[in-house]
């Protein structure tokens, strides 16, 4: 008897069907301790191996949801990318042998929680490390600190030496009122990169160094402070919180609906 498909696997198969992509499950390894990716799909003329990772609610997130539904939400700090880092590392091990054989590989995340773990800031920091804002501070009191830019560094999972077997990280989601879509984050250090022109017809957005995408630069805290959304939080924090909660719950209900 075959194992029932998870919500993330059902969603991935449905997305492939929408895109007209041929796919099949990869047979599990017989040797104990050896794991293979979940799927192989054919994007002519290439075969691409895909490992599916589903984010499930933790006890803390269950408590947070109860607070939201009761109308008494509380603030919590979430380390950006914390739910994704280990899964990316685990996927790299499962995809390594296929990468060495010249096949492109993808780790695909699907979030069944009401959280925001797959927002771009989380994916970027899980892949490339914590975001750090750098300033030049002069010893001369007459000079103001000068903003030098933003870099990623500590706790990176994808580097030129680590986990190069991952070609890209995919985020599979179903926006409210829409069908399933994938956003693709390319790994610039990949042993077998995926050409953006190849993936473009199938994904909603893709992010890669040098890609002609006006939204490719992750906004810094300074950018956010000048945005209209930031001003909404300052002018009406309770109302803004209520609107974000309703939006979150709407997307959560949509993800729970039968495919």
Per-residue pLDDT of 22-55, as tens digits, reads 999 988 766 666 688 999 999 877 899 999 999 9
DSSP string covering 101-125:
TT--EEEEEEE-SSS-TTSHHHHHH
Quote the pLDDT of residue 194: 94
CA 53 to CA 35: how far, in whole Å?
Answer: 14
Q: Which two tokens stand for residue 12?
A: 């991935």
CA 39 to CA 7: how far, in whole Å?
Answer: 15
Quote the pLDDT of residue 24: 93
Domain limits of the chain? Answer: 7-256
Quote the pLDDT of residue 127: 92
Residue 155, phi-psi category: left (phi > 0), alpha (psi -120 to 50), beta (remainder): left
Quote the pLDDT of residue 139: 66
**Cβ pair 204, 178 in contact under 8 A:** no
Quote the pLDDT of residue 103: 93
Euclidean distance between the first and final Cα of the chain, in Å? 23
Q: What is the pLDDT along the chain (259 residues), one digit of tens a residue?
A: 467 899 999 999 999 999 999 999 988 766 666 688 999 999 877 899 999 999 987 666 666 666 666 766 666 657 778 889 999 999 999 999 999 999 999 999 999 886 678 888 889 989 988 765 555 666 666 666 665 555 556 678 898 889 999 999 999 998 877 899 999 999 999 999 999 999 999 999 999 875 544 444 444 445 555 667 667 766 776 676 666 666 655 665 565 555 4
Quote the pLDDT of residue 212: 45
pTM: 0.71
């Amino acid at each position: 008897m075959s194992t029932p498909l998870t919500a993330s696997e059902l969603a991935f198969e449905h997305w492939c069907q929408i895109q007209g992509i041929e796919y099949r499950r990869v047979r599990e390894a017989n040797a104990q301790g050896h794991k293979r990716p979940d799927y192989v799909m054919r994007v002519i003329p290439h075969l691409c191996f895909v490992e599916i990772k589903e984010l499930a609610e933790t006890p803390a997130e269950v408590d947070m949801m109860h607070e939201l539904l009761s109308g008494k939400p509380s603030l919590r700090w979430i380390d950006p990318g914390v739910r994704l880092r280990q899964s990316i590392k685990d996927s790299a091990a499962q995809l390594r042998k296929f990468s060495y054989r010249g096949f492109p590989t993808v780790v695909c995340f699907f979030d069944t929680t009401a959280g925001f773990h797959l927002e771009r800031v989380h994916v970027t920091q899980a892949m490339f490390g914590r975001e750090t804002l750098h300033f030049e501070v002069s010893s001369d009191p007459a000079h103001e600190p000068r903003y030098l830019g933003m870099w990623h560094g500590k706790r990176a999972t994808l580097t030129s030496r680590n986990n190069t077997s991952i070609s890209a990280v995919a985020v599979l989601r179903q926006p409210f009122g829409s069908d399933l879509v994938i956003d693709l984050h390319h790994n610039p250090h990949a042993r077998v990169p995926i050409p953006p022109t190849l993936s473009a017809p199938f994904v909603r957005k893709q992010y890669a160094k040098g890609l002609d995408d006006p939204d490719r630069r992750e906004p810094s805290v300074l950018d956010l402070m000048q945005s209209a959304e930031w001003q909404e939080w300052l002018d009406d924090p309770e109302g803004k919180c209520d609107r974000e909660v309703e939006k979150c719950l709407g997307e959560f209900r949509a993800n729970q609906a039968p495919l």
